[in-house]
Structure 1
Amino acid sequence: MNKKFSTLLATLLVAGGMSSASAAVTSPSTSTPITKIETTKAYQLYGGLDQLLVMTKNANGQYNVEFLPANQVNDLASSLWTISYVTNPVGGPDFTLVNKATGCPLSVNLKDLTVTPDDIKVGGNISSWKWYPAVTKSTGFTYNDNMALKSYFTTDSVAYLTYSGNTVKAAKAHANDLASIGGQLTLAPYSAAAYVLSAKELNTKIGTDPEGQSFKLSATPELKIGTNSSLGNIFTKNTLRAWNQAAVTNETNFDLHSGFSNWNSTSGYVWLQVIDGKGDDKPCEDTYIMADTAYIDGLHVNNQDFVQFTDTTRAIKDIANGEDYLKSFQPGRNGNSSLFKFTYYPTEDSLAIDVLEYNKKAATATSYLGKTTVWTDVKTLENSVILNQLTTANELTLAAVPTGVSRNIKFTLGEGTTNRTSKDNGVYVIKNKKGQYLAVPIYNTKLSGWSAAEWVTVDADAQDVMRMPAYQWVAVKNDSMTVDTKKISSMTITNREFAGTAQSIQLRQNPGAEYLFTQEIIVPGDSLIVEAVPASVIANKELGYLNLEDAELAVMTYNFNYLHSYADDKFIGMMEDSVLNVKDGKYAFFMKESKEANYGFTSPYVAGLKQLTRVIYTPYVKTANGDRYITIDAEKRYRMTYDEAEAQKFYLKENNFYKPASKEAAQPYYAFINVTETADSTKMGSADQDLNVILRDQVLNETRTSAFAVVPNDAPLYRRFNTELEGAVEGQEDATKILKFKEFYRGEYLMDENNKKFQDEVVNYVGIERADKATGLSFYVDTVVVKGTAGHEQKPQYFVYVDRVVVDPVPGKECQEGDNHVDANGDPTDAAHCVHATPSKAGFTVAKYMVSFADSLSAKDADKLYKFGEYTRVGFVKGLHIGDSLYILTNGFENMEASKLDTAAIRANYKATSNEFNIIDLKAEHTDAHHNYTWSFRYTNPEAAAAVDEDARRFLIESDKKDADNDIAPSKAAWLKSQNGCLVLSDAATSTFENAKTGGDNALIFNIEVGSENDLATDNEEIATSEVTVIAGAGQVTIANAAGKKVVVSNILGQTVANTVITSDNAVIAAPQGVVVVAVEGEEAVKAIVK
């Protein structure tokens, strides 16, 4: 909307009968064609058989679009359209046409369109139209070359407009067929004809202030005495009351008994009484504005003198038939110089003022109106009020203005004495004196236009209007041209959620009154409270609808808690026949989400107002047989189905904000608005009189709306070892635990594999057997992921390990050599960072970590070492955990004493030997994805997991999942299982949770017992702390733990490469690439491959 559009036109926009708007509109066919479409102007759209496109509001508050003959258009504003456009190199500009009477764009709803033209329902999602190929045309836009409006909603499908008689219709077609379709609506933009205002129209501001008795004018440019003018602007400084000349006084119509002989031949000209509190109630003897019999001092240009104006001329009263009448003005005055005509040009938005006639000074004195005077030269052509800008002082005067030339001062109609007021542009909630809120409730959303708005009683304990955009209104002034007009401007209020529900209103407030009132949206005179919506709410683009965090969707399940006044523990559940109800069951749903889509109304004139967005959700439940979705059966009941094609999709629209007795705080409850591709939107609801409380598909206009809280499923899916059952200590709940894993059915325990049939000389496996078969049963269980990821609350991940050696950190030592400390670059530093300081060393843990060998299945001899039949085995690998890194030890480092391991040396070796993949960045891998070195403990019965009884907290030990499944709670995954007595992982492609959790062949079910360090599954007492280690590198071998011993290095041909006695426990000896033999004194010779 053009916010510079004046009050005069803005007042035409207010609904209701208006005297000025009841005159027939002149056809624009004779107007001069415009050559450029300007966004700051308002045009009439002309075509057909001398017809104009108009938009009106019917008795039901719905908007109609018609194509009326010009002489049948009785409301000027209804025929005016502002035209905005967006430049588009494809097919020309995209035009938007907004009607000035209603504030609504010419729009249609794609969902309503068929190939058969039908009446337009204003307020749809198609409002951008292709029309002319450009916004300029040198020969002008004319009726003879008017063009059709069309809108492409896909590359080959188009919406178009047609008309039959006076009715405008819309349809859709294939783009290739459009050219052959007849009867399309073709339009050309024209300037609207000028409009002369009567006295009543001036005083009542075109009927928008029915009780108005006067008016004020403002002007652009503004004249300020002492700044840019000597005289100022006599028309804007005064409050004025207009009077028509008439034979009899009629104050209702502002007719004043005139003693002028030409009273009935000067229609359109009015007197301008000065309203200053002095004699205002005596118009026949008060002061009036006139063209003066004096020139502007010091202004004489090209032998021309310029007339000024006066506001001190007093009327002369007489009496006829017992009635006062205005006989004349002070002696010597020409009464016609007090008569002014106000002409409004709607397209240009300009108000022009003309005087009927005035006198200029003659060369010699003659008699005029019984007086001898030189002011006898009567002017009737040079009678337009203009701004003389020939000097530094700008003054109002009179002159001739050629036809088609715009005047250099623009007047705007404003207030006189009035109760009109306005609000700042913003978002508001609106209440009546009953406390009801103006809103578009769910049951009205299928209505169109203003008929959807209703005064709604709100239960403050169960609803919060600040959370519901359907209860909020975007209010924008219709006139922001001047400071004065802003204060009293009418406003267009548009529902924040439903852009098609809009109304132009004039707020009013009587002097000293507390409340506002209006004539348009409430019983006239009834009180209104208009309350601003907080900035934080205006800026919330997700207001009003459920919008879950993306990171939660893959990992969280939700229960739908039914809102009921007598029970807060009812959820959507499933009956035996798959029908959904809200009685005793409690289903946990995953949610699929669509892309965000814009909805609702926004305005560039409201600071901080965000475009609202919402998403569509498809609830579903995971089962062993596949995902199950909500659908509707033939009896309109909601039920579950495995057929995704029948899945119902929903907007979850907030309907309540309520604190149930069992909760500490209020929570939102949502209506499930079914938006599946069907003929019409519906909602999910229950009938409480139905003993089974079955959920049914209901029409939106059903007054009662069922609502549900979307509650994260509080039944934990995985076990977290942080309670007394696991030996947790308060304040250190997630500290490392020592636990035993006991199989539920046979009572066997996880342990170091001791069955020789399943052992290997190189690989250390995990096994399962009776307690009396083990050297130890306890494992360290250490947290890896218990916070910081989307699903950490649902799926904590742990290290499981044995043979733990903790190497304590070594504190650094400051430099002791004087005070002048420097770093390695020679720059000054402190003692702790000096080159002579001893750096500190971080502590770390070395242990044998339980891992899945799934990442080793392509290695040499994998079938023998890492598989048992078709199943992946589980074992131990030695690792070093420091900070956020886990080093899988190899290349000889696995044989070194823990205290002598150096991560810098390990990194260098791994880089040289392309083994950097054995350094795991735990921070980078801190996700909900499964890992071969971490384990999660999946409850077989989450609903019972809150029990304090260990027996009820049974779990599966989970490793990986089927590739396409979820990271959290996959329906198919790899769990620990026993295959003919050998501990392996189940096949993630075929092993289902539904089977595994009930004791099927897919997995072992475990409980825990608190363990001890004296009962670890393996121990480290027999590990040699001085074992000689040979580590191959790039062009070298490193020999550890052999200080003082003789070392001989030979190549594969037996030629000696090195023969020396080494002096350190970390000696490096150069060696050729290939296989070398290293013989250390007192040790067996070993082979190494040098890179």
Structure 2
Amino acid sequence: MIMNKRFSTLLAAALVAGGLSANVMATDIATTDLKDGQFIHLSTATGGTTYLAMDAKGDFSTVDASNWSGKINSLLGALWQIKLIPHTTQAGTTYTYSFTNRLSGQMLSVNLQSNVVGGGRAAISAPTAVAENEIAANEKGGNTEWAYEAGKGFYAVKGDSIFTIGTNVSTGRLTFAAAKLTTAPSNTTMYLGEVSDAAVTLKASDFNALVKANAGRLFFTDENVSSTEKNVLTANKWEAVDAKMTSGKYASAGTDVLFLTNGKEYKNRMDADMADATTTQKEYLLVDYNFYDPSKEFNMLVADTIATEPTTSDADAKFDDRTVIAKHHPATAAFTVTYYIPNDSMVFAPAYVPTSIPVATTLEAMHTALPTDGEVAAVKTVVDYLKAGVTLFSAQDKASDFPKGTKFAEVKKFTEEGATGSAKTGQDLIDAVKTEIKGITYSETAATKKKQEAYVAAVNKYLTALNGLEITTVSDASSAALVSTSAIKDGSNYVDGLNVLTVAAVSPAKQVVIRKLSNTKVLTIGEITSATETNGNLIATIKTSDKDATIGGDATIAEGLYYIIDAEKEESAGVANKYYGLYFDESPVNPANYVAKAQAFNPFAQYVVAKAAGVDKGNYTITNRGDKNEGWQGVTNVVDKDNNIFVIEGDTVQLVAAEDVDADNAYIGFKYITANDAKNNKFTITSAADVLEGQSIVMTEDSTLKVAAPEDEVLYTLVPSDEKEYGVEDALKKVTYTIMDADSAFIIYDATRGYVFSNGKHATKNGTPVQFTMIAVDTDSTFVLYDGTNNKKLVVSTQYKTISGEDLDARNDMFIVKPQAAPASYKSLPKHVRIQAINGDYAAVNAKNQAIAVREGDLKADVYDNLDFIFWLDTAHYDNAAPYTYYITKGVKATEEVAASRLYMWNSVDSAAAKDANKELPYIYGTGANRVMFRTASIMAQDTLLIPTLDAAAKIDTVSVAAGKSADGLKHDVKAGVKNFQFSFEFASKDSENEYNIVCQNNNGKNYVHNINGVLAMGPKEDAVVVNVLNVSAEDEEATGNETITTDGVKVIASEGQVEITGAAGKKVVISNILGQPVANTVLTSDNATIAAPAGVVVVAVEGEAAVKAIVK
């Protein structure tokens, strides 16, 4: 925002006001106490605990303060990082402020624009209702610099107006006001509030939300391990899992803890029932108590498997048994993780520490575990004596006999059987075992010998474990003595593979720290008793970003259309990402969601990149062009600037400009057929698979679908639905199609049989036609047929070539959809045309309503001109018939109603025997050719015309396909013969474009139009006239109808059976037919005269005016 003098004065006032705020409540922050970069809340009241929040998309809401556990996104949405912007004024340095949201990374941005009189914002009804003077979402490109005063909220000055924003607690939205004022108005709905310094205990969802931006990575921003050491926290990507524990066991009513996994998985050794594993187990962060440094003060943090996977349910019955065979008790991987709001950091605290197994217990278990199969009796006897002596050595109430430091091998306190005595030392008992082992005579049976050898090996292992056995703590009345051996030490015997592992709560509390050992810094746990350093423990701030500021990225990306490549090299630590280098694709029929290369035809493989509101860089939305619910948004950081590689929402992606995309094509990615082509074409649907090339979808005898190669071309009618908008800003369009064969059988979906044809030759049951979406896959001309209603796609069986509906995660089978290779006839929507024979003659209508072939200027010096050759093609059939047929009519504008009365071209074959008053045959030309005539008629329905009779008793005949009674309640007679009025333009030669024969649809063998000396008459296909169908200019179209024709002050209106003339009182009027024969000659006595005239083209000559033509119906 540009500073001006008046705004500087307001800022100075704000500074003074802030300095005098002596009574501000403890939770409010005075402007003088603000620090650049600190986090604050925007409270809705002074001292309030309801805060303005923003979600990840930038929508506003309000949230109430809580302990925030389980609600971390609500907390982050309510945190704003403040930036102080200094301004030098006469009163000193004053400040404006910008506010960046911790969750969305967007700066608070509002357009300083009012759209109602007096200032403010008008209400919005759609797509989401927003009340008057409220703002629902952060506004892109708006003002981001605000002045603040307690009690006046946020405001900005632009021109002579002050714009203020506040909050509406009930709706959770910003309020907006604008007024021409000299001082900021009161606003008590926005205050600067302190954030709590209390720790937030995180649940798994909280932790995962915090680390999402960097894909689960953690960072140490002030201290870290030495370069020679490994920091397991920063070397992995972590995801938290919730669990509950009591005394180190899973318990549904236990204390909440978190387990952090790095995603690595291994085949489990045993399942929950201790049988061979069929599941996997993950690696978790844990404290390795099995390793100590010499000072016993350094426990490593490692990632390893644990005995049982974490759960919030009760521990299973095999929990203890599983710990016996594990390296780590599950509880050693249990942590509490707390989040500290002011410095945006976390603390990891281990929940449990393992308890040491008494060495005597381990030795007892080793003896118990000696195999019984293959044991040698003599050896067993002396081993049992030895075990009795070891037990006696660590028994209670023997402190006087076995003081601390007494060595088992040296003390002479045993009998030969290991009881109390003085004849033998512990070493004597050990030697007795060794002597018996030497004297063994092994079995000659190999299997038995093998078992004996295994038994002896176990005994020798037991003997080795006794090496160095001594008293480390004397016994007392309440507990046994504690002993150690050379290999097994009292106090650090956590795992022996024989006994159940046990744990205790960590006390005193410890946390993950960096510890300095000599000159090396290592990652371990330690007790922190001060804010700086205690006993070599260095406080290490664990954060979710390696940037100086947790929010706000450093990426700068040009807005536009891109392809996105997966640039994440590892799926998890040490596990390669198999999709690395592939392009993202959100097509509904692509279960992998990746393609190997950029696809300019596929909107689901294209993404729109836009900056978030209120930022110059570092925060973007990347939205899939075809599916606006897919993509990324938020803080965006640079990984490789030269190659356009960035991190957003924890994913590493590479952007490739989609410069080859036709961005203006709204129908991209789907098969699109224009309405004209859909009506006037039949289509082939063939397999795109190489092994099925050219094979079509066909109907089997049981009405199911398959792919086959029939002898004749299989043609389908595709009936389109209405267009549906979709994608980013609903800028794209798609159309679905029903598929109908030549027998009017549609493809339907049957819950039992799948996709079948209905209502056709082999099916009698009706059904709802399936609306298929044809999605381009692999190329812009191969399509998957996708049924969005049933969420299935058509897939061809590789063995039987049958077609079934499969779920969207099945493989794709593509089809090629093409119009009929060579249409048999001319196709068009209704329009004006000229029909010209290849010899240059044009079709026209003479005064007797006979069809003729003439040229401009023929007959009576320029009687026929350009407009006489224009006809209106009215579509008769296109839905379910080939060829395409038309009514060829005269005297209609493109805008005139279809049912309007006009002259219809007619094959007069049914009137061939009729004679006129002179007993001549007016409908016959030459040696028996039926004339092509024009008769007045109007359309009642597609196959039905209303036609006035030609006899004296003027009646209206209903003419249709067949004779009968009408379907309406009147039940009047219906005559046959409508096909005599229906004509097609069939290709005269496949080798020539736009050359047609005119064919009547009565199919009587003489249904082709001929040009016989300028007369159009019917005959066989041989020697039929060949014509071109020519388009008509817009100007000519305007002159073809029966609406008003104006000649300098005089209006001529041709209607049914008459001509109306206005503005010509006292003038002579002559009306002639097309041959120049007068039909009326009179002097008008009125300015609004009506003169009878025959149907057809007439010439109207008004005295003193240019003659005009009109068509009388």
Quickly name the TM-score band, shorter chain normalised: 0.3 to 0.5
Q: TM-score, normalised by structure 1?
A: 0.35
Larger radius of gyration: 2
Q: TM-score, normalised by structure 2?
A: 0.34
